[in-house]
Chains A and B, each alone.
Chain A
Amino acid sequence: MTTNTCVLVAIGRVEDVPMYEGRAVSVEGRRLAVFRTDTGFHAISAECPHKKGPLADGLVGGDTVTCPLHARRFDLVTGKAVSGGDGCDSVEVFTVVERDGWLYIELGD
Chain B
Amino acid sequence: MSGTVIIGGGIAGQAVAERLREAGYDKPVAMLCAESRPPYDRVKLASLLEPGGDPEALQLRPDTWYEDHAVDLHLGVEVTDIDRAARAVVTAAGERITYDTLVVATGSTALVPPIPGIDRDDVLVFRTPEDCEAMVAAAAGTTRACVLGGGLLGLEAARGLVALGVQTTVVHLMGHLMERQLDPFGGSLLTGKMQELSVEVLVDRNTHEVLSADGRVSGLLFTDGSTLDCDLLVVCAGIRPNTALARAAGLECERGVLVDDNLRTSDPHVFSVGECAQHRGVVYGLVAPIFEQAKVAARTIAGDDAAGYEGTVPSAALKVMGVDLVTAGDPMADGGVSVADPETGVYRRLIVSEGRAVGAILMGDTRGAESLVAMVTRGAEVDDPLAALAAAAEAKASDLPDDAQVCACNGVSKGDILTAIREKGLRAPSEVRACTRAGTGCGQCKPLIAEIVAAEVGEATDEATYLCPCRNLTREQVAAVIKERGLRSAGEVAEACGAGRDCGACKPGVAYLVSLIAANRHREEPHSRFINDRVHANIQKDGTFSVVPRIYGGVTTPDELRRIADVAERYEVPMVKITGGQRIDLLGVKKEHLPAMWQELGMPCGHAYAKAIRTVKTCVGAEFCRFGIDNSIDLGIALEKAWEGLYTPHKVKGAVSGCPRNCAEALVKDIGVVAVEGGWEILVGGAAGSTVRRGDLLARVDTAEDVVKVSSTFLQYYREHAEYLERTYDFVERVGLDTIKAAVLDESTGEPAALRERLALARAAARDPWEAAAAGARTEFHDLGEDPEPALVGPPADGSMTSFEDDDKEIA
Contact = CB atoms under 8 A, between A and B. Distances in A.
A23 B787 contact: no
B539 A16 contact: no
A60 B528 CA distance: 8
What interface size band does chain A fall in?
35 or more
A93 interface: no
B741 to A, nearest CB: 37
A71 B528 CA distance: 15
Given A59-B508, A61-B505, A62-B501, A21 B805 contact: yes
Contacts of A19: 527
B527 A20 contact: yes
B539 A62 contact: no
A15 interface: yes
A10 B527 contact: no
Contacts of A51: 541
B387 interface: no
B504 A23 contact: no
Contact of A61 (B507, B525, B786, B793): B507
Of A17, A23, A28, A58, most buried by chain B (CB within 10 Å of CB) is A23
Interface string A25-69: 111100100100000000000000001111011111110111011
Interface string B530-543: 11101000010111
Contacts of A53: 543
Contact of A11 (B502, B527, B784, B805): B784
Contacts of A62: 501-504
A53 B531 CA distance: 12
B795 A102 contact: yes
A64 B503 contact: yes
A15 to B, nearest CB: 7
Given A52-B543, A68-B539, A16 B530 contact: no
B398 interface: no
A66 B785 CA distance: 21
Given A61-B504, A61-B505, A9 B793 contact: yes
A23 B783 contact: yes
B792 A11 contact: yes
A91 interface: no
B526 interface: yes
B241 interface: no
A70 B526 CA distance: 20
A105 B49 CA distance: 53
Interface in B490-543: 491, 500-505, 507-508, 525-528, 530-532, 534, 539, 541-543
Of A17, A19, A24, A82, most buried by chain B (CB within 10 Å of CB) is A24
Contacts of A54: 531, 539, 543
B804 interface: yes
Given A61-B507, A66-B505, A68-B531, A26 B787 contact: yes
Contact of B501 (A12, A18, A52, A61): A61
A108 to B, nearest CB: 17
Nearest to B783: A24
A60 B804 contact: no
Contacts of A31: 787
Given A15-B801, A16-B804, A25-B792, A59 B784 contact: no
A79 to B, nearest CB: 16
Contacts of B784: 11-12, 16-17, 23-25, 34
A64 to B, nearest CB: 6
A20 B534 CA distance: 13
B803 interface: yes
Given A17-B784, A18-B805, A69 B504 contact: no
Nearest to A10: B794
A73 interface: yes
Nearest to A22: B527
A57 B793 contact: no
Interface string A74-109: 000000001100000000000000000010000000
Contacts of A59: 504-505, 507-508, 527, 530
Given A25-B784, A26-B793, A62-B501, A18 B543 contact: no
Interface string B227-238: 000000000000
A12 B804 CA distance: 12
Contact of B526 (A12, A21, A71, A82): A21
A62 B804 CA distance: 22
Interface in B152-197: none
Given A18-B807, A59-B505, A62-B502, A10 B795 contact: yes
A8 to B, nearest CB: 10
Interface in B258-308: none
A12 B801 contact: yes
A57 B531 contact: yes
B789 interface: yes
Contacts of B801: 12-13, 15-16
Of B504, B792, B802, most buried by chain A (CB within 10 Å of CB) is B504
Nearest to B490: A20
B503 A66 contact: yes
B500 A61 contact: yes
A17 B743 CA distance: 46
B785 A11 contact: yes
A58 to B, nearest CB: 7
Contacts of B793: 9-11, 25-28
A56 B807 contact: no
Contacts of A18: 526-527, 804-805, 807
Nearest to B503: A61
A33 to B, nearest CB: 9
A51 B543 CA distance: 10
Contacts of A24: 783-786
A25 B504 contact: no
Of B502, B783, B786, B788, most buried by chain A (CB within 10 Å of CB) is B783
B525 to A, nearest CB: 8
A68 B803 contact: no
A15 B805 CA distance: 10
A57 B531 CA distance: 6
A44 to B, nearest CB: 14
Contacts of A102: 795
B503 A21 contact: no
A73 B504 CA distance: 10
Contacts of B805: 18, 21
Nearest to B534: A57
Of A31, A61, A83, most buried by chain B (CB within 10 Å of CB) is A61
Contacts of B534: 57
A54 to B, nearest CB: 5
Contacts of B508: 59
A28 B787 CA distance: 12
A27 B491 CA distance: 31
A83 B470 CA distance: 13
B792 A60 contact: no
B799 to A, nearest CB: 9
B785 A26 contact: yes
A69 B802 CA distance: 27
Nearest to B502: A62
Given A9-B794, A10-B793, A62-B503, A57 B785 contact: no
A64 B504 CA distance: 8
Contact of A26 (B507, B526, B543, B789): B789
Contacts of B502: 61-62
Contacts of B505: 59, 61, 66, 71
A18 B803 CA distance: 9
Contacts of A20: 491, 504, 525, 527-528
Given A9-B794, A26-B787, 4 more contacts: A11-B784, A18-B527, A62-B502, A66-B503
5 contacts: A16-B804, A18-B805, A53-B543, A54-B531, A82-B503
Interface of B: 491, 500-505, 507-508, 525-528, 530-532, 534, 539, 541-543, 783-789, 792-795, 801-805, 807
Closest A-B pairs by Cβ, 7 of them: A61-B504, A20-B527, A25-B785, A57-B531, A26-B785, A24-B783, A23-B784
